Amino acid sequence: MALNMKYVREQFPGLKNNWIFMDNAGGSQILKGVMDKIQEYYYSNNVQLGGSYEVSQNAAKAFMNGRENMVTLFNAARPEEIVFGPSTTVLLQFLSKAMVDQFSAGDEVIVTITDHESNIGPWVWLEERGVIIKFWPMNKETYELDLEHLDKLMTEKTKLVAFTHVSNLLGTINPVKEITKFVHDRGAMVCVDAVAYAPHRAVDVRDWDVDFYALSLYKVYGPHHAALYCRYDHMEKLASLYHYFYGRDKIPAKMEPGNANYELSYGSGAIVDYLVTLGEQAGETGSRRDKIVAAFEDIEQQETILCEQVLSYLRKRNDCKILGIRDGKDPRRVPTIAFTIDGKDPEKICLEMDKHKIAIRFGDFHARRLADNLNITHDNGAVRVSLTHYNTVEEVETLIAALDQILGT
């Protein structure tokens, strides 16, 4: 079913200024509901948790409410599987630190060439302990990660495979369930970066059976805050990052040293409320979780229209190289579209685009190793147009007209 675009856009006050936001993989606009909830927290519950008094008890309930909403968003089994933190970068650094004692010299960890550095660097650190890091290469024709390459890399020493659900440069959805089964069958764990996936499709950590799964809420229409899912049996094994009197059994507090941000954790619950409302508008009458799934079906429908609108334009240009799947209707594609134009500097294209009040971005997007692999790092990377469901066909028409002006028809 088509999204009610009037309703959708009204939920994002930032869309009312006269910019067109197409840098959503950098960060999305924030829902009014999230801001309201953050404010409500400050007005009603702004005290430290752990006190005996009523307001402190209420604050603890609000924080837990934030975690429970993440359970619904991730489809996790229990709130203790959710860790809040300031960013995915920090959460994955924490995770690697909390897992250090699970690795011995000679163990192997596989990372991919297509990931954002957030899900590579923290694992490369393990080299200091004698862990061997291997890179899962990309198929340069298809821009995909092939299991046959992974098969060649995995040995009985492989403990963990860290990969991205969607590359923030290529926009290709990796088959997370299939990869996870492949890795589990060979006795290793997976750590998945879902930052570029979560704004576009429903997450289901239980269906996919992933071990660790991280996303940034500020790209899923929320605040600058992030959440990491750790399957409970893995969570139990993590070392404590908190004070010495917070042992391994202090779950998940041991992974939130100094406490997570209460108000942003609580406020992020409004992301789920919003998705539930979209699901209801789609006619879904089941659980909150069912409504989220229905919402993302409609989100996908809108995004597919926009994605193909941009890609069909770019395909027609014979000076354009699209990085990633070229067909916007391919269900493995999200509307995070990076491209280069022969002889044109990505920075200059973006500076020109600024004059049209269309927010896009250039660079390597911190997927530096991928940009190196594509040989674009020294040319200011690529131009990236990253759309989300609140973008409209009219906005994409304006983008295309601006591209025609900047690049020539």
Pairwise CA distance, residues 166 & 255, whole Å: 25
List, in order, residues 6 or more apart from 314 with CB less than 8 Å away: 320, 322, 337, 339
Q: Are strands 212-216 and 189-193 parallel, antiparallel or unpaired?
A: parallel
Pairwise CA distance, residues 188 & 390, whole Å: 39
Query: To the nearest whole angstrom, how small is the minimum distance from the Cβ of residue 384 to ligand PLP?
Result: 10
| Beta-ladder partners of 155 | none
Residue 89 or 240 with smaller CB distance to ligand PLP: 89
Residue 59 or 367 with smaller CB distance to ligand PLP: 367
Residue 135 or 246 with smaller CB distance to ligand PLP: 135
Residue 31 or 227 with smaller CB distance to ligand PLP: 227
Query: To the nearest whole angstrom, how small is the minimum distance from the Cβ of residue 90 to ligand PLP?
Result: 7
**Displacement of CA 73 from its chain's centroid (Å):** 13
Residue type, 90: V
Residue 4 or 87 with smaller CB distance to ligand PLP: 87
For Cα atoms 299, 86, 238, give the angle at the middle one, nearest 5 degrees.
100
| Beta-ladder partners of 27 | none
Pairwise CA distance, residues 407 & 316, whole Å: 13
Q: Where are the alpha helices (DSSP H) in 186-240?
A: 205-208, 232-237
| Beta-ladder partners of 160 | 109, 189
Query: To the nearest whole angstrom, how small is the minimum distance from the Cβ of residue 275 to ligand PLP?
Result: 20
Instruction: Please give the structure tokens belonging to residue 325.
Output: 């799947």
Query: To the nearest whole angstrom, how small is the minimum distance from the Cβ of residue 118 to ligand PLP?
Result: 4
List, in order, residues 6 or more apart from 65 with CB less than 8 Å away: 266, 269
Give residues in contact with ligand PLP (CB under 6 A): 25, 87-89, 116, 118, 164, 168, 193, 195-196, 216, 226
Query: To the nearest whole angstrom, how small is the minimum distance from the Cβ of residue 215 to ligand PLP?
Result: 8
Query: To the nearest whole angstrom, how small is the minimum distance from the Cβ of residue 336 to ligand PLP?
Result: 9
- Per the CB < 8 A criterion, the answer to whether 338 and 361 are in contact is no
Query: To the nearest whole angstrom, how small is the minimum distance from the Cβ of residue 207 to ligand PLP?
Result: 21
Residue 225 or 254 with smaller CB distance to ligand PLP: 225
- Per the CB < 8 A criterion, the answer to whether 166 and 200 are in contact is yes
- Per the CB < 8 A criterion, the answer to whether 362 and 382 are in contact is yes
Query: To the nearest whole angstrom, how small is the minimum distance from the Cβ of residue 65 to ligand PLP?
Result: 22
Residue 37 or 219 with smaller CB distance to ligand PLP: 219
Residue with tokens 């990491």: 228
Residue 45 or 216 with smaller CB distance to ligand PLP: 216
Query: To the nearest whole angstrom, how small is the minimum distance from the Cβ of residue 175 to ligand PLP?
Result: 17
- Per the CB < 8 A criterion, the answer to whether 82 and 252 are in contact is yes
Residue 82 or 305 with smaller CB distance to ligand PLP: 82
